[in-house]
């Protein structure tokens, strides 16, 4: 087959015009998802069933269904309900961008809370006992001992989820958002050149992944400064 | 609080402790006066660690009373906090905070529990690091220190809280042989200064030279309690004799 290089050269800048939306989806969902993850984590380890149980249901539902389906339910399904259309969330849920952020945040929040829980469970019990013996309260132990240690333990798995989230933003193109994938699909529809366009698109995502990996590598190095040299 | 030498700091009355159906402590009665140094020994699984962990409520006792410096340990968090402020603890595996430098390890509880300002907390920390002869390591992380050094840091960390009592839970068991003495020296110095101490240890040389009383535990009970001289020369109980013959013949 013939690979049309000039088409690639033309289309890459066009797709890059959508990188802003990709970044916004990624950054907003990662931020909101992390907040949600911490809340879900605290609910799960609270030891109170009426907090732990809803958190587990959320985690089960959002890990148990495809993100694409979640996006469709939120975008196509929610507007059917009058009470949603009349709620304060409607201005967000009316827009495809808002729907995508909500779906991605809820989804990544479920995964990340489990990642964080793994980190929390990995904290050496002896360290926490030493904290108790010194008279630290449960809250102080959580803030000053568990959180920094668990963050380091959870980071490699978290970076993995972050990369998944970045790639999952491409699903937003299915609900009319013109992110990089959305633009690529439009170009393909006009040029009938799926190979060139989608391979170029894949390369852009790979470069982004490389950047994320590097960034997390740095953070990991910093957080691991106290681990065996 | 008075400073009379006969004041009782630790009182355990008929203390029982269960792990599930397993009885870890059986009817423990123990009285420790201010300035006394107690060495606790016994075979593994005999309840030594559990006993001292009940004293600062790392374990909750099921029956009986534990009264520390006049405060009884109950479910009341305030009383537990009050007791923990008076009782320092040194662990077998050091349990330093791995993500903090040595000096920060010593400052954390001072700042959060005693509400001491940064400058003063650092001064206190450096003072006690000098006492355990390790001040030059202040800015390092625990992992960069040897086991013996880490344990001395752990002792200094406990001392920073100015406790009335220090509990030692097999402080030298995880150390390489050449590092045991540097830790025992620090402990001996503390004992000479009049610190009230309970040490779970098998260092019989330390017991002989430092302890006011030696307690032997087996199967969750205090089997024998005597001054070291008497304890080593004339153990009365068969179980004590057997234990001593096992650890002293080598």
Residues B28-51: tens digit of each pLDDT: 999 999 999 999 999 999 999 999
Which of A126, A137, A228 is the closest to B91 by Cβ? A126
Q: Closest approach of chain A CAs to the CA of B113, in angstroms?
A: 6
Residue A221 has pLDDT above 60, yes or no: yes
Q: With pLDDT > 90 as the criterion, what percentage of chain B qualifies?
A: 86
Please tell me if residue A122 touches chain B, with a CB cutoff of 8 Å: no
Q: Which residues of A touch B58 (CB under 8 A)?
A: 129, 132-133
The mean pLDDT of chain B is: 93
Q: Which residues of B touch A129 (CB under 8 A)?
A: 58, 91, 95
Q: What mean pLDDT is reported for chain A?
A: 93
- What pLDDT was estimated at residue A79? 84
Q: With an 8 Å Cβ cutoff, are B144 and A149 in contact?
A: no
For A183-199, the pLDDT digits (tens) are 999 999 998 888 889 99
Q: How far is B171 from chain A (nearest CA, A)?
A: 13
Q: Hey, are the CB atoms on B112 and A136 less than 8 Å from each other?
A: yes
Beta bridge partners of B166: B88, B197
Residue in chain B closest to A228 (alpha carbons) equals: B143
Question: pLDDT exceeding 70 applies to what percent of chain A?
Answer: 98
String of DSSP letters for B73-142: --S-HHHHHHHHHHEEEE-TT----TTS-HHHHHHHHHHHTS---HHHHHHHHHHHHHHTT-GGGTTS-G
What is the torsional sign of CA A41, A44, A47, A52? positive
pLDDT for B125 equals 97
Q: Verify whether the Cβ–Cβ distance A152 to B99 is below 8 Å.
A: yes
Q: CA-to-CA distance for A17 and B197, rounded, in angstroms?
A: 71
Convert the pLDDT of each residue in A17-47 to its tens digit.
999 999 999 999 999 999 999 999 999 999 8
pLDDT at B88 over 80: yes
- Would the pLDDT of B151 be above 50? yes
A47: left (phi over 0), alpha (psi -120 to 50) or beta: left
Q: Which residues of B touch A225 (CB under 8 A)?
A: 141
Q: Is the pLDDT of residue B2 over 60?
A: no
The H helix count followed by the E strand count for chain B is: 9, 10
CB B63 within 8 A of CB B15: yes
Token pair for A61: 């539902």
Residues 148-177 of A with CB under 8 A from B: 148-149, 152
pLDDT at B250: 57
Residues of B in contact with A149 (CB under 8 A): 98-99
B124 in contact with A, Cβ within 8 Å: no
Q: Whose structure tokens read 């961008």?
A: A97
Residue A148: Cβ-neighbour burial (10 angstroms; 0-12, 13-18, 19+) = middle
pLDDT at B145 over 50: yes
User: What is the pLDDT at residue A177?
Assistant: 94
Residue A135 reports pLDDT greater than 70: yes
Q: Which residue of A has its CA nearest to B157?
A: A134
Tell me which residue in B56, B108, B161 faces A144 most closely, judged by beta carbons.
B108
Write down all domains in chain A, each with its CATH number in brackets.
19-176 (1.10.3720.10)
> Is any Cβ of chain A less than 8 angstroms from the Cβ of B96?
yes
Facing B109 at nearest CB: one of A127, A134, A229: A134
CB-based contact A134 B56, cutoff 8 Å: no
Judged by phi (left if over 0) then psi (alpha if -120 to 50, else beta), residue B115 lies in left
Is pLDDT above 90 for B224?
yes
Does the model's ipTM exceed the 0.85 cut?
Answer: yes
Instruction: Assess B84–A contact: CB distance below 8 Å, yes or no.
Output: yes
Query: How large is the average pLDDT for residues B220-249?
Result: 90
A136 touches chain B (CB under 8 A): yes
Q: What average pLDDT does this structure show over A55-70?
A: 96
Q: How close B92 comes to chain A (CA, Å)? A: 10
Residues A148-165 have pLDDT tens digits of 999 999 999 999 999 999
């Amino acid at each position: 087959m013939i690979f049309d290089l000039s088409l690639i050269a033309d289309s890459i800048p066009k797709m890059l015009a959508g990188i802003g939306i990709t970044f916004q989806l990624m950054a907003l969902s990662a931020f909101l998802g992390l907040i949600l993850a911490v809340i879900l984590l605290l609910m799960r380890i609270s030891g109170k069933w009426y907090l732990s149980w809803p958190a587990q249901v959320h985690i089960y539902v959002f890990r148990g269904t495809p993100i694409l389906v979640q996006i469709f339910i939120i975008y196509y399904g929610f507007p059917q309900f009058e009470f949603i259309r009349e709620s304060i969330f409607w201005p967000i849920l009316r827009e495809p961008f808002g729907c995508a952020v909500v779906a991605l945040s809820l989804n990544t929040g479920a995964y990340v809370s489990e990642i964080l829980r793994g980190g929390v469970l990995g904290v050496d019990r002896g360290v926490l006992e030493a904290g108790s013996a010194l008279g630290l309260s449960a809250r102080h132990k959580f803030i000053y001992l568990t959180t920094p240690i668990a963050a380091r333990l959870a980071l490699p798995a978290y970076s993995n989820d972050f990369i998944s989230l970045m790639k999952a933003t491409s699903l937003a193109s299915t609900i009319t958002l013109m992110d990089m994938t959305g633009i690529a699909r439009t170009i393909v529809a006009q040029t009938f050149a799926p190979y060139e366009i989608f391979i170029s698109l894949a390369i852009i995502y790979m470069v982004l992944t490389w950047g994320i990996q590097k960034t997390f590598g740095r953070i990991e190095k910093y957080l691991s400064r106290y681990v065996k040299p | 609080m008075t400073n009379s030498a006969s004041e009782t700091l630790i009182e355990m009355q008929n203390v029982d402790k269960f792990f599930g159906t397993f009885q870890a402590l059986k009817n423990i009665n123990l009285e420790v006066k201010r300035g006394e140094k107690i060495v606790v020994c016994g075979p593994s699984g005999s309840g030594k660690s559990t006993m001292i962990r009940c004293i600062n409520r790392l374990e909750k006792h099921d029956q009986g009373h534990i009264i520390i410096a006049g405060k009884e340990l109950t479910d009341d968090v305030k009383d537990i906090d009050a007791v923990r402020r008076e009782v320092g603890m040194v662990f077998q595996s050091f349990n330093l905070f791995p993500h903090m430098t040595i000096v920060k390890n010593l400052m954390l509880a001072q700042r959060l529990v005693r509400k001491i300002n940064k400058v003063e907390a650092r001064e206190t920390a450096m003072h006690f690091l000098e006492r355990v002869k390790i001040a030059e390591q202040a800015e390092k992380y625990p992992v960069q220190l040897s086991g013996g050094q880490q344990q001395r840091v752990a002792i200094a960390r406990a001392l920073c809280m100015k406790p009335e009592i220090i509990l030692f839970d097999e402080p030298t068991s995880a150390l390489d042989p050449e590092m045991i003495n540097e830790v025992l020296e620090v402990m001996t110095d503390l004992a000479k200064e009049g610190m009230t101490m309970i040490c779970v240890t098998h260092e019989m040389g330390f017991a002989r030279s430092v302890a006011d009383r030696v307690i032997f535990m087996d199967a969750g009970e205090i089997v024998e309690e005597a001054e070291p001289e008497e304890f080593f020369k004339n153990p009365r109980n068969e179980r004590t004799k057997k234990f001593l013959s096992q650890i002293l013949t080598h």
